[in-house]
Structures are given as C-alpha cells and as structure tokens.
Structure 1
C-alpha cells in the first residue's frame, strides 16, 4: 500500500506545518531536559505566536504575488498605446518648446 502524496505546490503550508510540529516538540524536549512546565508553556506560547505571524505574512505574500502575476499577464494581453507616439515622459507634448535663455539667432 502506497502512502498518499501531497503535491508540493504549497511551500508556505509546508513551512507552517513544520512550525506547528516544532510548537509541539520543543516543550516536550524542554521538559525532558529539566525546564519547568511553566517555562515550557511560555516557550510554546511564544512559538505559537511567531508561527501565526509568519503564516499571516506568508499568505499575504502569496496573495500579493498572485495579484502581481495576474496584472502582468493582463498587461501582456492588452495592447499598450505607449509606443513611439506616447504622451508620457519628457517632451511628450507636441509643440512644446523650452527656452534655454538663448535663441537660435544668438
């Protein structure tokens, strides 16, 4: 019988799972090596808080990345009018002459 394999498409989920595993393992190790139950509980709470914050940041990063990729894909699909005759940038308006203090007759 084969073990069911998960696709490796969720690296943030893998990180969060390992962090949750550490939140369970660290207090056990601390108690085995002589730390008080109170100290182990505080360490567990600290690790859980850091894990939760990291999970939020990872999910936010994934959403931002997907959003940026979608916008980039949309920009590639729609033709842009920013070619040679663009109005954007310096000197983009027709007939605009800037005086530098000297005229061509000088």
Structure 2
C-alpha cells in the first residue's frame, strides 16, 4: 500500500512554489512603491526566468540523487564476483609468468 504524498515531502517543490509566489508578489510591491508597470514587468520576467532555471536544476539534482541511491542499493544487494584470478596482484595476467610480450632490456 502506498502512502499518500504530502506537499511537505517535496522540498524542491516547496522552493519552486515559494519562488512562483515571489514572482507574483514582487511586481505588486514594486508598483505600490512607485516603480513603473514596465519596470515591474521586466522584474517579473527576470524572476520567472531565474525560477524556471532553478526548477530545472533542482529536478536534475533530484534525478541524479535517485540514480546514485539506486546504484548504491544495487551494489549493496549484489556482492562483487571475485573469480579465481581476480586475487592476483596488479599487472599480472592469467597464464603469463614472464614479461607477457615485453622484450627484455638490452
């Protein structure tokens, strides 16, 4: 059974909602305090662009975090396969007891 999703379960969504609210509130405050409608409109467009970019970055970050958690969980569940020859030291190859094709120094 899935639990109901609550708004406070999505911190990135909360940030985006507050930013959208600010995009609406800031122009009103600017006009009330004497800024022209054009200036308020430009400020609104700028805030909307920044909000949209932040939303994209937050969603991308969440996606990367979920992928990393999935990989970590998968790695914890599946032990690494260690074959008979994987215990050999670095640089050694199976069946090769000499320089493996490297010519001896002159």
TM-score in terms of structure 1 length: 0.75
Unpaired stretches in structure 1, ≥5 consecutive residues: 1-5, 102-106
TM-score in terms of structure 2 length: 0.75
Unpaired stretches in structure 2, ≥5 consecutive residues: 1-5
Alpha-carbon distance between aligned partners in 2 of 1:9 and 1:62, rounded to the nearest angstrom: 13
- Deviation per CA, 1:47-104, whole angstroms, max 9, x where unpaired? 0011011111111111111011111111111121248852798324243545896xxx
Instruction: Please give the secondary structure, in 2, of the residue aligned with 1:86.
Output: helix
CA contact (8 A) 1:86 1:92 kept: no
Cα distance change, pair 14–86 in 1 and its aligned pair in 2 (3 A): same
Alpha-carbon distance between aligned partners in 2 of 1:60 and 1:54, rounded to the nearest angstrom: 10
Tell me what 1:65 maps to: 65
- Deviation per CA, 1:15-34, whole angstroms, max 9, x where unpaired? 00010010011101111111
Alpha-carbon distance between aligned partners in 2 of 1:19 and 1:61, rounded to the nearest angstrom: 18
Tell me what 1:36 maps to: 36
Cα distance change, pair 11–29 in 1 and its aligned pair in 2 (3 A): same
**How many pairs are equivalent?**
97
- The answer to whether 1:46 aligns with 2:30 is no
